[in-house]
Structure formats: structure tokens, C-alpha cells
Amino acid sequence: MAASVLLLLICFSYFLYSFHFSLAVSSDSADAAQDVTVLIDAGHGGVDGGAAAGDGTEEKHINLQIARLLEQQLGAMGIRTAMTRTSDVSIHDSSAQTIREKKVSDIHNRMQLMEETENCIFVSIHQNKYSDSALSGTQVFYSPNTTASAQLAQTIQDSVQTLLQPENSREIEKSGSSIYLLYYAQKPAVLVECGFLSNAEDLRKLKDETYQKQLAFCIAAGILEYLNT
């Protein structure tokens, strides 16, 4: 209980710092930040459940829960947002019939949303899974196509580690071709692997609404820091 209260106080203090910092930036920078739209992508959905934990928890649900909370946090900070999905759906074309066709169509439609959203940064929310159950913690991947992507990834990673996961020593990582949306993105784009469904402690926390709110706040604070700098 004491740890949770301390974390909330730290988060609130960080928010106040970020808010006052945002007031201190030049008017041109402030105007530029206000013009940005954060396109929040809740990974998977519908027929595509993503990774599954040992207890049957599907990644797609946690992704959406955190993405919704991130939308709320950014909105409270005065940052414009849009989402690729707001419910448990795949955003594939109606012509797609097989599961593979639906997955391919879905990913292409997400890319199209990124391309069509003017002056946007793309933040995709996912969960990790690995054969080694000891692995844990958040890690942010970034598009290799813009230096801004690496900068955004670093501010988010730093925010999560500073405010929520001080034991996390993971570093940001450049995306390979296996992460389609980042590999081909021409705008600042990152993917946040929030934690490991294969790790019992990570799974417990990721299913907890309070922790989801804390994590969403950390991601939002990292985005705010990026916009301010």
C-alpha cells in the first residue's frame, strides 16, 4: 500500500514538472506540440488474439485496456489523440475471408491510418511472451526510418524505468522487418512491449487496473517529454 502511494506521489510530481516544463518552452514549440496527433494502436484484436498467457489471458484485451487509459492520460495533458481500434475488433477489409487474409488486411489498414493521419506520431501497445519465464519488464522498439522514432522510444523507456520499473535495465531496440508497422513507417513510430505474459509477476500486474493506469501514465509522460523537446 505504501509503495503504491509513493508511486502515485512520484507520478503526480513528475506530471507537475512536465506541465511546468511545457509552459516554459517557446510558443513555437508549444504550437507544434498542439498540432501533433498521437495515433494509439492497440495491437491485435478480433480474430487475432495475439500472445496468450498460461492462464488463457489474451494479449489483445490488455493492449486495448492500456491503450484506452493512455488516450485518457494524453487527453488530460491536452494532447490530441486518435485510436486504430476502440473495441475488440480486427480492422480488416470485408473482402478478407481467411484468418491470414484478415491479419494481413488489418495490418495494412493500420498502416494506412498512420499514413493518413497528418502530423502524427504512432504508438503501438503490445505484450511480450518468451520461452524463458524469468524475462520481465517493458521494452520499447522504434522505427529505423526516422531519428525521431528513437528519441520517442527513449523518452518512453526512460519514463517507465524512472517512475515504475527502477529494476528494468532493458534498452530501446531498432525494429527489424518482423514488426511491419515500424519497419515501413515514415513517421515517428514506436511499439511498447509493456511486459511479459510468460512471467507470472508481469502477468499479475498487467491484469491489474491500477498498474495499467500507472503504466499508461508513464507512457504518456514519456510522450509529453518527447513533444516538449
List pLDDT tens digits, range 82-132.
999 999 999 999 999 999 999 999 999 999 999 999 999 999 999 999 999
* Amino acid at the residue 219: I
| The pLDDT value given to residue 229 | 85
The pLDDT of residue 19 is above 80: no
Length of the chain, in residues: 229
Burial classification of residue 56, based on how many CB atoms lie within 10 Å of its CB (0-12 exposed, 13-18 middle, 19 or more buried): exposed
197 band by pLDDT with thresholds 50, 70 and 90: very high
Residue 226 grid coordinates: 518527447
3-class DSSP assignment, residue 66: helix
| The pLDDT value given to residue 207 | 97
The pLDDT of 5-16, averaged and rounded, is: 50
Is-contact 96 90, C-beta < 8 A? no
The pLDDT of residue 13 is above 70: no
Residue range 24-41, pLDDT digits in tens: 334 444 555 668 999 999
3-class DSSP assignment, residue 95: coil
Beta bridge partners of 93: none
Is-contact 196 129, C-beta < 8 A? yes
Which residues, in sequence order, are CB contacts of 133 under 8 Å at separation 6+?
196, 198, 199, 200
Which residues, in sequence order, are CB contacts of 204 under 8 Å at separation 6+?
none
| The pLDDT value given to residue 18 | 46
SS3 per-residue string spanning 164-193: CCCCCCCCCEECCCCCHHHHCCCCCEEEEE
3-class DSSP assignment, residue 70: helix
7 band by pLDDT with thresholds 50, 70 and 90: low
Q: pLDDT > 90: what percent of the chain?
A: 84
The pLDDT of 215-225, averaged and rounded, is: 98
CA separation, residue 216 to residues 73, 98, 210 (Å): 7, 34, 10
Residue range 49-79, pLDDT digits in tens: 999 999 999 999 999 999 999 999 999 999 9
Residue range 145-195, pLDDT digits in tens: 999 999 999 999 999 999 999 999 999 999 999 999 999 999 999 999 999
| The pLDDT value given to residue 85 | 97
17 band by pLDDT with thresholds 50, 70 and 90: very low
Task: Give all domains of the chain, ordered by start, each with its CATH number.
Answer: 2-228 (3.40.630.40)
The pLDDT of residue 3 is above 60: no
